[in-house]
């Protein structure tokens, strides 16, 4: 190595300082993201933090969601996305039935009244066409 390619110790400290600052900056960037998730702090202008009436955790009601709800005339959500999905899934009750077309055991998302035949998915598709 020639003398003009080596740097004096003062420059090494100066060169190390930006690297240390970059490490600190990357650490600082990672920490707020981890902290923001549990608190559900608003991420952008116009976003709202609302409490879930089921689990009492705050969730973000984004500006885009607010606009959509307003366009459709909906009231703001009272449950977080996880609780909404759980409620929706719990509302579906399946009933085991025997297909009137092929005799196969199947499940349907309703309670049959008994006055009409009930088909499995495959037979229902053929009956529909």
What gap in Å lies between CA 64 and CA 21, rounded to an integer?
A: 36
32, 41, 45 from 66: Cα distances, Å: 25, 16, 12
What pLDDT is recorded for position 16? 44
Domains of the chain as residue ranges with CATH: 37-91 (3.90.1280), 95-128 (no CATH)
What gap in Å lies between CA 52 and CA 50, rounded to an integer?
A: 7
Each of the 129 residues of the chain gets a pLDDT tens digit; together they read: 544 554 444 444 444 444 444 444 444 444 443 333 444 554 668 899 999 999 999 999 999 999 999 999 999 999 999 999 988 877 778 899 999 999 999 998 888 988 999 999 999 999 877
Helix ranges (DSSP H) in the chain:
9-39, 63-72, 81-91, 121-128
What pLDDT is recorded for position 43? 60
Closest CA to 42 of 53, 50, 30: 50
Radius of gyration of the chain (CA): 30
What pLDDT is recorded for position 101? 92
Tokens matching residue 94: 């399946």
């Amino acid at each position: 190595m020639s003398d003009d390619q080596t740097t004096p110790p003062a420059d090494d400290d100066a060169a190390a300082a930006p690297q240390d600052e970059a490490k600190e900056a990357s650490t600082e960037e990672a920490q707020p993201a981890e902290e923001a998730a549990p608190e559900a702090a608003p991420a952008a202008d116009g976003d709202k933090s609302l409490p879930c009436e089921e689990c009492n955790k705050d969730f973000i009601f984004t500006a885009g969601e607010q606009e959509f709800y307003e366009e459709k005339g909906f009231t703001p959500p009272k449950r977080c996305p996880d609780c909404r999905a759980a409620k929706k899934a719990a509302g579906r009750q399946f009933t085991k039935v025997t297909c009137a077309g092929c005799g196969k055991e199947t499940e349907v998302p309703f309670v049959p009244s008994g006055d009409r035949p009930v088909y499995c998915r495959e037979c229902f598709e053929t009956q529909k066409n």
